[in-house]
Structures are given as C-alpha cells and as structure tokens.
Structure 1
Amino acid sequence: RGGLFKYVRKFSLHDERSFEHEFFLQISHSFPFIEELSLRNYQQQKNNNQQWSIIQYSRLNKLDLVYIHEDYVEQFLIDTKTCLLNNVFLCVSYDYLQKVTENFTRDAMRVNCFSDAGGIKKVFEIAMDGQRINFFNISFDPTIRYTIWTALLGGTCYASSCACILQTQTQRYMCVSSTREAQKAVWINTFMCVLLILLCGVVGLLIHAKYHDCDPLKAKLVSRADQLYPLFVMETFSRFPGLTGLFIAAVMSGSLSSISSGVNSIAAVIMEDIWKTLAPNRVPSDELQTTIAKFMCMR
C-alpha cells in the first residue's frame, strides 16, 4: 500500500496500453494522499466492461487529461464512475469537456472552468471582443440596453431618487447638526458610490474574463446567474485561508446595514404618520417614542 511512497502528492503516468481499471484502483489505494494526477495515452481503447467498481480520489485537486485519447478519458472518468471528492482543477481538451461535465455529480465534483486572464490588458481585450465595453454608443434607440443617454438619464434619475427622497437617506440627513454637514455627507457619499460602482464594473470584467469560454450555468456549477460572483470568489480565493470568509462577512455586513436602515425608517413612519395621526392628543414624550421605536425594530 505505497510503503515509503505512501505520501506521494504528484503522480504522472505515460501509458501505452489499454485502460486497466485494477491498475488505477491500486493507485487510489496505494497513494491515498495524491493531489495531482497527470495521464498520457494516445492509443484508442476498446473495453465494454460496465461493471467496474467506483474509484475514489479523496485528496485530488488537479487532474490533467489534455494529451490523452478520447476513449481513455471516457473510460477513466465515466465508465469507472471515478469519484473526485474535492474541488478539482480539470485540464481537459475542449472536445471532451461536455462529455465530462455531464457525468460528474454535483456533490462529488465541481469542474473548475478556470481561464488565466493574463493581466489587465487581457481582461479588457476579452471584454472588448465580447462587446462588454462600449463607451461611445450615442444611439437614441430605446431598445438598446446601454447607451450614453440611458446611462446619463437613467443614472441621474436613479441617483437623485436615492439621494433626495429615499426615506433611508433623508433620515440620515436629519441626524447631522446642520445643513452644511448634510451637504458634506452627500459629497462624500457620492465619491464613495462612484468608486464602488467602478469596482463593481471591474469585478464584472474579471468574471467575464474567467468564464467567457465556459458558461457555469450550462456546466451546472450554479443554478442562477446571481451566484456567479460567489462562485468566482470561491474558486479564485479558496487557496487563501480566510479570504472567502471575509467576503461572506462583507456581504452580510452590507445586507445588515441596508436592513437596519429600512427597519429604522419603518419605525419612524409608524410613529410619525400613523400613531400621531390616529392619536394626535396622546403623543408620548420623545424618550417614550424612542423606546417604542427601538422595541418595534427588535420585533
């Protein structure tokens, strides 16, 4: 069972024989800590045995099947019901990718369609080729999703509605000491929002650069489009301990901030527009109003 070589982490095999199930079963048993497996075999295979047992690779995280015949790929991954228990970086020729993804279960395997972007220049080249960047579209056609006019008009209306009449925003203005301080807060918020939107755009370009030639929805890595960003974070930063947890914490903190503002707004509306309207002669003191509002927020 491996002996002195039991803890081998990388295994490369150049095979010129027909596929041997027992041989790979022995590899999985003898080298339980194997993390990288590279196979080479250009010969056509023919084996109709469909009763092979499942082979499990419990620690494998990289599988290289680029220089290998299609029959060998099919017998290694499909006919043997190979079970990969980790997220595995799979190097396989494009012609075989669909056959491979259709035969891996979701719980046992996640096919990592990783594409090395190759730097900032490469990211923008991929985005331009995919028509994801178009700064100079001045068309007045309303059916076009993004033009200069839709961005300016729509962005101005949306930003104005959020900054001027949104309850969660205006209550923040009311909390500062003067109009001057409120104006200062608006300018700071505007700068931070512009920076945030630019960063979101960069993240979108990075996600497109990584998955432009492999659709995670079709590969069944995710079930909805809004899961692409978490998938991108998990696949890109999982090798750095703590970063994925930091991402989740940031998302949760942002959600908590929005929810808390909304709850406070609802409590204020109940006190000002409902309570004082229905019982104008029984208005509680400011201290009691604060206590009631806090209680409603807790509920």
Structure 2
Amino acid sequence: MNATDVFYNVPVTFSWFDYGLFVAMLLLSVLIGLYFGCCGHQDSINEYLLGGKEMSVVPIAISLVASNISGITLLGVPTDVYRFGSTYYMYVSMLIPVYVITYYVYLPVFYKLQLVSVYEYMMLRFNRKIRLLTSGLSTVATLLYLPIVVYIPALALTQGKFVTSGSFIKEIISLVGVATQFSLHLVTPVLCGVCIFYTTIGGLKAVVWTDTLQFVVMIGSIVAVFYKGLDAIGSFDEMWSRAAAGRRLEFDLDVNPTKRDTVMATMVGTLFGCLSYMSIGQSFVQKYLSMPTKKDVKKALFLFMFGMFAIITFVVLTGLIMYAHYYECDPFTAGKITKHDQILPFYVMDVASTIPGLAGLFLSGIFSAALSTLSACMNCLAGSVYEDFVSPFMPKDISQKQVSNILKLLVMIIGIISTAMVFVIEHMGSILPINYALGGITNGPLLGLFTLGMLFPVANHKGALYGGFGGIAFMSFIIIGSQYYQVMNEYAGRPVSIEGCGNGTILLPNLPDSSVDKSDVFILFRITHYYYSFMGTLATVIIGVVVSYLTRKPTDPKVDPDLISPFSYWVSSKFGLEKPEKGNYYEVNKALGVVTHAEKQTNAT
C-alpha cells in the first residue's frame, strides 16, 4: 500500500466503543478518589500529603513514572524523533547517573529532615527570603506549566483538519470536529474537574493509585500503537532500513552548543533537566518521604528508572515507525495536517482504523498522562504553598483537621486556576517553545540554589540571594534573546519526501545538519535549549560561591551538618563541621518544630 492509499482509502472512525474506554478511565479515577476520601482518613497533613508514610514501593514507583510522563512526552517525543532523528534516545543513558546523584547526594538531606515542603530547607540553610524566592519561583512556574500539560494533548487531538479531501474525509472532520468543539471548551474543564475532584478528596493516596491506573492505560496505548504500526509497515527490519535511509538513526557527535540535536547536548540537557525535578522537585521528594524507609526509596527509584527506560524506548521507536510509514509522503508537507504536533494522532487514526477501541485507548493514554501529571503537581503544590505562604499566618493551635481542609481548598484553587489558564494558553501560539523557555528560566536556578546549599558549606544567605537572582536574570536574558531572534523556532528537521503523494516531487527543505545558520546572532542566543538547565545551575552556583567568599565573616555561625550532603563531608571537615550521625532521621513533627525555631531566629535577627 503506498502513501496515497494511506491518505485517501482508509476508512477511519471513532466509535462509541472508543469513547466508552475513555469514559471508563475517568470513572475509575473518580471511584479511587471517593474510596480514599471516604475511607482513607485524610484528616492530617501527614495523611493528606505523605500518605501516612506507609506507601508501598511499587505504587510509588509507578506514580513517579506516570506523573513524569505527560502528554507532552507521549506526543512530543515521537514527533521530535520523526523530525530530527533518534538522538533523543540518549536520554536513557543518563538514567543511571541521575539515579546515583539523586539517591546519594540530595536525598539523604531531605530524608533526614523529613520536611513537608522542600523549600523549608532553604530557610534552615539560609533564611526566609531565600525560601520565599525558591517557593514563589516554583509556584509560578508550576501554575504556568499545568495548563500546558492539559492543552498540548487537547490541541493535538482536537484539530478537525487532519485531512482535506476524499470520500471519508467529511466523516473524519465531522467526528473530530465535534470533539474539537467539546474538547477545548467543554471536555477540558470536565477532565480538569475530574482530576481536581479525586485529588482534593483523596490526597496523596488517591494521586498514587489513580497514577497507577493511568500508567496501565498509558502503557497499553503505547504498546498497542507500536505493534499495530509495526504490523502496518511489515517488519522491524523494514522500519529500520527506512529510518536509516532517512537519516533518522544518525548520532551527531559535534560539541558545538548551537546545534540542536547532538549527543552531548542531549546528555547534558537530560542530566540537569532530570536532576531539577527528580532530586529537588517537590512532587518527587514528597513521594520519597511517603515511604517508610530509605531502602524503599532506593527500590522505587530503581523501578522508576526501569519504567522510564521502557517508555522512552517505545516512544522513540514510535517516532521511527511513523517516519517509516510516511517516508514517501510527509503529512505536514503534503498539507494533511496543519501542525507538526498533530502527526501522532493522525498516524494513530490511520493505523487504528481496523481495530475497534484502539483510537479510544490512545485517547485515554494521552489524557491519562496529562491527568497523572496534573494531579501530582496539584497535590505537591498545595503542600508547598501551605507550608511556605499560608502556615505562617495560621494560629498556633490550628488542628490537623483544619490544615487538611485548607490543603483541599488549595488543591481546588490551583486546579481552577490551571483550568482557566488553558483558555489563555490557547491564544499564545506555539506551546513547546514556551515550555522550554519556562523550564529554562526556573529549573536551572532552583537546582543551583539547592546544590549551593547542600554541596558548598561556605555558601551564605547573601550568596544564595545574589546567585538566585543572578541565575534567573542570566537565563531570562538568554531565553528572551533567543525568542526575539526566533532561533528556537528555526531549527530545521531531517529530510522528508512527498514523492509518494502523487506529484512525483521530493522536498528537501533542510540543511545538512539540522540547524539554521544564524551566525550573525550573539552566540548565547543560539545555544540549544538542551543546555538551559545546565547553564542556569552553573551560573547560580558560581555567583553564589563567589559572593559568599567575598561576604563571609569570621563570626559567621557554622552550618548545621544535617543540612550538608554526605557527598560534601570532606569539604565540611575543612570548615570545622562535624560529620553527622547516620540514621538519625527527624520525625515530621520534629522537623516542623525545627522550622518554627528557625523562623523565630530569622525574625529575631
């Protein structure tokens, strides 16, 4: 079957069975929330945010994977591989280094302190101003990220102009067009409402177990699409040979930081990008602390690493299969789709036409990824907002039941803001550059501040303050400049063909190396987005250390060894710090008491 047959002769339908699978996933999520809301005793901060510290390894590991894999990943990565090749697969090579650094460098500090909000560490290590800086920066970034998580799959799945002519096209347009009318202005609020409901009443336990359900749906959709696509091509060897001929298997070893898809850029970007949420991210740390022992965390991280390896492998192969399927007739160049992000839904509707329910399974998988990320972020953001901004204004005798109710109210407010922001994001143009820019401005400086505190005993509050603002200003300058010159939007992909579309021509609009020549633009504006987290981290640490050295005084108090990573014990000894005893972990109430004491000291000074 040639490409023309693909576009014009396959009867694609979206049946009630497909819709039924999607609705069933939502109803099960609601039932899980109701169960833990009614039977889970969510009447304390420990129960609501940490699951009573009795969460099991496997559900937590699955929840970590599910909340980390958003619709952006499931839709964006195959599209990226289709356009730019499989260099993204170098992501998996960084999973072990990220695992080792997270467990042995950052986690020991958080697990010892047992803090509800990771930003409480900033007050213990520096002062309240640094805590508010980091927490406020993270809160704004999360509130801007959540509507993107919801909108990306809605945008890709609800475009009614996948195909422009043909006998069955009116049916597709009418079916998908109805979904478009509902999905952005009705279905999106309904989906967010479901997520807000089960997250609000069920707490962390509901988040974890709905993530488990949604993970199963995600895996099912990914595997089903992969094998059906492979069957449509004919064999794995055929997919591999077409991908190789189309230069999708080439790995660029150039160290030029202005080139988008090099092995070095992907590995550096993955390492620091993953560390920014796996090591110090509120959502991840909160789940680490919900398990009884540190050994459980180690097991969960290992399973998380394995799960990420499997999912990234499948989504990269899906991108290669899509290219092999359309290697003679690129849908975007041929005018069959209007945005690159639509290619995966278009492909699924194409290959799923003969299997009832597969399109619905795919739809459920994409939105499961979005809901799992949304619920995890709402739950952890409610915890950090309460601890960092609300708690100081609460009476000292407030009950745990009242705290739990405030947390539920915060989840609802965060969910409503995120839902409303979807309709703002709708009018902001290209979404992925916005996502990269947002992460570049915030992730690097946040990781830099925690690294400064845990690995550099010499760092003081002035160094952290100047380092944080310096890192944010530096990255804002770079990203605003790159956006002004539209560098991020001008990367060209690998060659595509429309020879099989019926016009006998081949379109090769790309440069040999997947990057656009912008040599007249300042070099910092041309650096690929993969380096943003690394640059933000490095700038924050360098500025922080330099300022700390220049402003330190002999009378400065010694840093509490509990606030320094074991990785830096050898550095700590040079500054007169004693090695802390192992295994002496704080209880949650004690940790909160330590924070309260630190607040009084800060206010007194």
Q: Which range, TM-score by smaller chain?
A: 0.5 to 0.7
Give the Cα separation in 2 of the matches to 1:127 and 1:226.
20
Secondary structure at the counterpart of residue 141 of structure 1:
coil
Give the Cα separation in 2 of the matches to 1:109 and 1:218.
23
Alignment map for 1:51-130 (pairs within 5 Å): 62=9, 87=12, 107-108=169-170, 117-130=233-246
Give the Cα separation in 1 of the matches to 2:307 and 2:285.
18
Give the Cα separation in 2 of the matches to 1:257 and 1:102.
34
In structure 1, the partner of 2:399 is 285
What are structure 1's unaligned runs of at least 5 residues? Answer: 1-60, 64-85, 89-100
Give the Cα separation in 2 of the matches to 1:284 and 1:193.
41
Counterpart amino acid of 1:123?
M
Question: For the structure 1 residues 218 and 138, does the alpha-carbon distance in structure 2 shift closer, same or farther, using more than 3 Å as the test?
Answer: closer
Question: For the structure 1 residues 184 and 102, does the alpha-carbon distance in structure 2 shift closer, same or farther, using more than 3 Å as the test?
Answer: closer
Secondary structure at the counterpart of residue 108 of structure 1:
helix
Question: For the structure 1 residues 220 and 138, does the alpha-carbon distance in structure 2 shift closer, same or farther, using more than 3 Å as the test?
Answer: closer
Larger-Rg structure = 1
Q: As a proportion of its length, which structure holds more helix? A: 2
1:218 is displaced (CA, Å) by 3.1
In structure 1, the partner of 2:355 is 240
Question: For the structure 1 residues 217 and 109, does the alpha-carbon distance in structure 2 shift closer, same or farther, using more than 3 Å as the test?
Answer: farther
Counterpart amino acid of 2:367?
M
Matched, 1:254 2:372: no
Once the two structures are superposed, what CA deviation does each residue of 1:27-67 show, in whole Å capped at 9, x if it has no partner?
xxxxxxxxxxxxxxxxxxxxxxxxxxxxxxxxxx849xxxx
Structure 1 counterpart of 2:260, from 145, 148, 151: 145
Matched, 1:296 2:410: yes
- Aligned residues of 2:164 and 2:336 also touching (Cα < 8 A): no
Question: For the structure 1 residues 106 and 284, does the alpha-carbon distance in structure 2 shift closer, same or farther, using more than 3 Å as the test?
Answer: farther
Give the Cα separation in 2 of the matches to 1:239 and 1:188.
35
Could you state the TM-score of these two structures normalised by the residue count of structure 1?
0.60
1:107 is displaced (CA, Å) by 4.9
- Aligned residues of 1:276 and 1:283 also touching (Cα < 8 A): no
The higher-RCO structure (CA 8 Å, 6+ apart) is: 2
1:104 is displaced (CA, Å) by 5.2
Give the Cα separation in 1 of the matches to 2:390 and 2:262.
47
Could you state the TM-score of these two structures normalised by the residue count of structure 2?
0.31
Give the Cα separation in 2 of the matches to 1:104 and 1:278.
64
In structure 1, the partner of 2:289 is 174
Give the Cα separation in 2 of the matches to 1:106 and 1:217.
19
In structure 2, the partner of 1:83 is none
- Aligned residues of 1:217 and 1:225 also touching (Cα < 8 A): yes
Counterpart amino acid of 1:127?
A
Counterpart amino acid of 1:220?
G
1:148 is displaced (CA, Å) by 2.5
Runs of 4+ in 1 over 6 A off after TM superposition: none
Secondary structure at the counterpart of residue 233 of structure 2:
coil
User: Please, what is the CA RMSD of the aligned residues?
Assistant: 2.8
Give the Cα separation in 2 of the matches to 1:258 and 1:179.
24
Question: For the structure 1 residues 250 and 131, does the alpha-carbon distance in structure 2 shift closer, same or farther, using more than 3 Å as the test?
Answer: same
In structure 2, the partner of 1:187 is 302
1:183 is displaced (CA, Å) by 1.8
Question: For the structure 1 residues 106 and 239, does the alpha-carbon distance in structure 2 shift closer, same or farther, using more than 3 Å as the test?
Answer: closer
In structure 2, the partner of 1:197 is 312
Matched, 1:264 2:399: no
Counterpart amino acid of 1:294?
K
Matched, 1:159 2:274: yes
Give the Cα separation in 1 of the matches to 2:357 and 2:168.
24
Give the Cα separation in 2 of the matches to 1:247 and 1:201.
16
Give the Cα separation in 2 of the matches to 1:179 and 1:151.
31
Give the Cα separation in 2 of the matches to 1:224 and 1:141.
29
